[in-house]
Amino acid sequence: MQKARFTEQQPPVKIIQKDGNAYVFICQNETQRLKTYPDIGEGQTEQGYYEYDYNEFSAPTGILDLEDIQAHPENYLEYVYTEQKEDPEDDRVKNLEEQVNSILNAIERGMNS
């Protein structure tokens, strides 16, 4: 989880759906703070800001449970979307299994004829 600062208050969850993706921004545990900056000369300026526990992530539309994210954003402060790619090794294993099954079926047919 990371912290983020904003000059304006943020909603607990902001979701933008665009181009087939859902972009999720989560701001939790708001804290108001002041930061002091030196001015020219001897003066100082204070500026208020809002600090949040923050997370952002995106995924293709339909992958994320957006209703659950809206209802329970605190559960997604550590969430990281990782695309589930099919391993090419899995494809080779499946193909070999199919070939072995085909050969076994042919042998069985040959023995039964």
Q: Where are the alpha helices (DSSP H) in 1-113?
A: 66-71, 88-112
**Position 13, amino acid:** V
Please indicate whether residue 53 or residue 110 has the higher confidence score (pLDDT): 53
Beta-bridge partners for 100: none
Q: What pTM, to 2 d.p., does this model score?
A: 0.68
pLDDT at 50: 98
For the chain, the first-to-last Cα distance in angstroms comes to 67
pLDDT at 78: 95
34-41: long-range contacts, CB 8 A cutoff, minimum separation 24: none
CA 51 to chain centre: 21
pLDDT at 87: 60
pLDDT at 85: 59
Report whether 42 contacts 3 (CB < 8 A): no
Structure confidence by residue, pLDDT tens digits, 53-109: 999 999 999 899 999 999 999 999 999 998 765 566 667 777 778 888 888 777 877
Structure confidence by residue, pLDDT tens digits, 13-43: 999 999 999 999 999 999 999 999 888 888 8
Separation between Cα atoms, residue 74 and residue 71, nearest integer Å: 9
Domain chopping of the chain, boundaries: 2-82, 84-113
